[in-house]
A and B are shown apart, each in its own frame.
Chain A
Amino acid sequence: MKGKALLGIGAVAALVLSGCALNGGESSNEGESTSGPVTLTFQSLAYQDSTVAAVKDIVDTWNSDNPDIQIKLTQGTWDNVHDQLVTQFQGGTAPDIIHDESSDIMGFAEQGYLADIGKYLSADVKSAVSKDVWDTVTTADGKVIAAPTLLQTYVVFANTDAFTTAGVEVPSGKELSWDDFQGVAKQLTANGKFGVGWGLKQPTAAVMNTALGFDGTFFDTKDDGSATIHVGDNELAVPERIHAMAYDDKSLDPVSLTQSGTDVLPNFLGGKYAMYVGGNFLAQQITESAPTGFKWTVLPPLAGSAGATQAANPQTMSVSAQSKAPAQAAKFIDYFSSAENQAKLAQGDWLIPASKPARDAVAAETKSTPVWTPILASGEDLAGAPFQKAKNYPQWKDQFATPALQQYLANSISLDDLKKQLTDGWSSIG
């Protein structure tokens, strides 16, 4: 009896208060900037030792040069950055300066959580980055919600000794076509060793990015952020080829497709796979953990029917709309985006700077490391991709694209099923 009464009282109280609780959020501070000394928090996602050190270095230099704008560095992880930002924004505890990637932040922009920093960035920073890449951080109504920093591409790492042993020539040249890649992989497969290991546990990003090489655009976006999906032969070319290599040619270890890139790496270093596909940042881990005498290189960028184009999905630096000092925060981002700093960060992570002067700086500083040449080359052909503008992309990716691609790559559904699940999934959230 009493229990019911209590619940009843609670329910009434809740009814009265629920409105307050939900609307009690901080109001937007955009536009009104405080002056005087401020301390701003910057949540960095850098995780490789070399980059963590580089970020810390940049922040320290800034702090000693700018006593009025102190930056407090905190550490987040790529793994759960999205969930963390949702709770941080909702709880009013978001950092002032937010590190993320462009495909992840459009939804936050839509919800009003990110400040427009276009007006604060310097002309130098603006002109250093191509329009294609700026497009990935600009909302449909023209707000610049982040500064693009580093770019990742998918590259093919090769164990050159394995090529020598198998008597196969290491591909060179400006690009490596998917057909040639497939052919080489077949030649390198023998005696329980595979031509390729590819950690595709999270397949969506890889497929979306490389599909552009076949003109696979997936979405048509409209100005209001709504989008329609189109899954045709171009879009499916990459998964189809991976599938063929795994199950027809048997030159790609299907087990690796269910693992993360990091999990697959030991097998590449151990000689089980002659080639290893992954983000270029993995070069850092290879240099760190390769056994002595392990010889490796990076093959030319993978090219489809439309060339070696991949989607640009840059890492980004944004300012929270809840920040008390957006102008000052943007000023730090401006500094952070300078060619010198970007070149430093890029080398720590083996990533490609979005800024052209920074790319040139990296090229000049890494002359003695030839592996950098194909990595930087793969960055020349980066294009904007529509999926980054589709606001429900993150949810579609989690709930439909990833499961469907995983199932297809595990050989448990057909290509037609894949197509249907991708298409139907989008309409069910859209």
Chain B
Amino acid sequence: MTQTLAPPSPPRPTVRKVAEPPARRTRTFTRPLQYLALLGYMVFLGFPLLFLLSTSLKTPRELRSTDSSFLPEKLNWDNFGNAVEKANLAQAAGNSLYVAALTTVIVTVISLPAAYALARFRTKLRGVATVWILLSQVFPFILIVIPVFLVLKQVGLVNNPLGLVLVYTVWCLPFALWMLRGYVAAIPVDLEEAGAIDGAGRLRVLRSIVLPLLAPGLVATSLFTFISSWNEFFFALVLIQDPGLQTLPLTLARFFGAEGQVQLGQLAAASLLATIPSLVFFLIIQRRLTSGLMSGAVKG
């Protein structure tokens, strides 16, 4: 539940273009300083990524020598191949894909009607849901994971990807609901009313008016659900024990933990490979995510 739920904020769903810099008079003096600060941030944020990339391209010999340069001598892609082959990366990626994709489908299917209800109907449910969404952030995993483990054990879902799917579904639901509710609320009710007056049935109104308008938001929500399940570590750590069922984060963590000689280049390569799907999806949805976070907070 960490790192997913967005904070409420003032109602301003669309993010405006950059505000004009107010301090024009002092610009000549402050501009260089501002660029310097921006550069500092970029180094802090970007350098670790570059280092990871550079490490993944180095040969084992370069990595062993104590005085190698930051840049690899030449682009050496062996680490990527070796990582996939040796660390069972393909199998782990398959497991992760299965779990994340199934979770995404289920979350989308069950959160869509619920989000609609929460956005459109003024019932007690809305208060309960909001309380639950917020509460689910406060409770530490550890409190949930032991009983979840025991519950899943009773139904034979420990050490089973489906158990993980079930847990991730519930874990991703608060955020998905939060976002989708915002997107639904942003669609003017008038449109639905107009459709209803034209004689279209409720379901048809939903399908032909609401759903198309909701599509971009739905995609953003689904992809975010996918990313969250793809990246998750803690529940997988407790619930999956069979090495053949491990998800990518587990495999990576054990790769590093292995007492044997750590193949740094391979580890870096594997880490990058594991990040790519989330990163691509994330960059696709980032604009919408930002506005979604904000609109989710619209009080209705």
Residue ranges of A at the interface with B (Cβ–Cβ < 8 Å): 1-3, 6, 14, 20-22, 24-25, 47-48, 74-80, 84, 87-88, 90-93, 260, 262, 265-267, 269-270, 272, 285, 288-289, 291
Q: Is the interface of A mostly helix, strand, loop or mixed?
A: helix
Q: Is the interface of B mostly helix, strand, loop or mixed?
A: helix
Instruction: List, in ascending order, chain B residues with CB within 8 A of A76's CB.
Output: 243
Q: Are A270 and B158 in contact (CB under 8 A)?
A: no
Q: Are B258 and A87 in contact (CB under 8 A)?
A: no
Q: Are A266 and B241 in contact (CB under 8 A)?
A: no
Q: Tell me the nearest residue of chain A to B260, going by C-beta.
A: A47
Instruction: List, in ascending order, chain A residues with CB within 8 A of B257's CB.
Output: 77, 79-80
Instruction: List, in ascending order, chain B residues with CB within 8 A of A270's CB.
Output: 64-66
Q: Are A87 and B149 in contact (CB under 8 A)?
A: yes
Q: Are A91 and B154 in contact (CB under 8 A)?
A: no
Question: In the bound complex, what is the Cα–Cα distance between A9 and B159 (angstroms)?
Answer: 29
Q: Tell me the nearest residue of chain A to B257, going by C-beta.
A: A79
Name the one of B125, B127, B242 contacting A74, with C-beta atoms under 8 angstroms: B242
Shortest CB-to-CB span from A11 to chain B, Å, is 12
**Known pairs A262-B259, A272-B66 / 17 extra A-B pairs, C-beta < 8 Å:** A2-B124, A2-B125, A14-B147, A20-B154, A21-B147, A21-B151, A21-B153, A74-B242, A74-B243, A77-B254, A77-B258, A80-B254, A80-B257, A88-B241, A90-B153, A266-B64, A285-B260
Instruction: List, in ascending order, chain B residues with CB within 8 A of A289's CB.
Output: 60, 64, 261
Name the one of B147, B149, B241 contacting A84, with C-beta atoms under 8 angstroms: B241
Contact A79 B259, CB 8 Å, known A74-B244, A93-B158, A270-B65:
yes
Specify which of A22, A260, A267, A285 lies most central, judged by the most chain B CB atoms within 10 Å of its CB.
A22
Question: In the bound complex, what is the Cα–Cα distance between A310 and B156 (angstroms)?
Answer: 45
Shortest CB-to-CB span from B87 to chain A, Å, is 11
Residue ranges of B at the interface with A (Cβ–Cβ < 8 Å): 60, 64-66, 124-125, 127-128, 131-132, 135, 147, 149-151, 153-154, 158-159, 238, 241-244, 254, 257-262
Question: In the bound complex, what is the Cα–Cα distance between A78 and B259 (angstroms)?
Answer: 7
Question: In the bound complex, what is the Cα–Cα distance between A90 and B151 (angstroms)?
Answer: 12
Q: Tell me the nearest residue of chain A to B64, going by C-beta.
A: A266
Q: Are A21 and B150 in contact (CB under 8 A)?
A: yes
User: Nearest 3 CB-CB pairs, A to B?
Assistant: A79-B257, A91-B158, A21-B150
Q: Are A47 and B242 in contact (CB under 8 A)?
A: no
Q: Are A93 and B241 in contact (CB under 8 A)?
A: yes
Shortest CB-to-CB span from B106 to chain A, Å, is 22
Q: Are A269 and B64 in contact (CB under 8 A)?
A: yes
Q: Tell me the nearest residue of chain B to A76, going by C-beta.
A: B243
Question: In the bound complex, what is the Cα–Cα distance between A88 and B150 (angstroms)?
Answer: 12
Q: Are B149 and A90 in contact (CB under 8 A)?
A: yes
Q: Tell me the nearest residue of chain B to A78, going by C-beta.
A: B259
Q: Are A3 and B128 in contact (CB under 8 A)?
A: yes
Shortest CB-to-CB span from B205 to chain A, Å, is 29
Contact A47 B128, CB 8 Å, known A270-B66, A289-B64:
no
Instruction: List, in ascending order, chain B residues with CB within 8 A of A267's CB.
Output: 66
A–B pairs, 6, beta carbons within 8 Å:
A14-B147, A24-B153, A79-B254, A80-B257, A90-B153, A92-B153
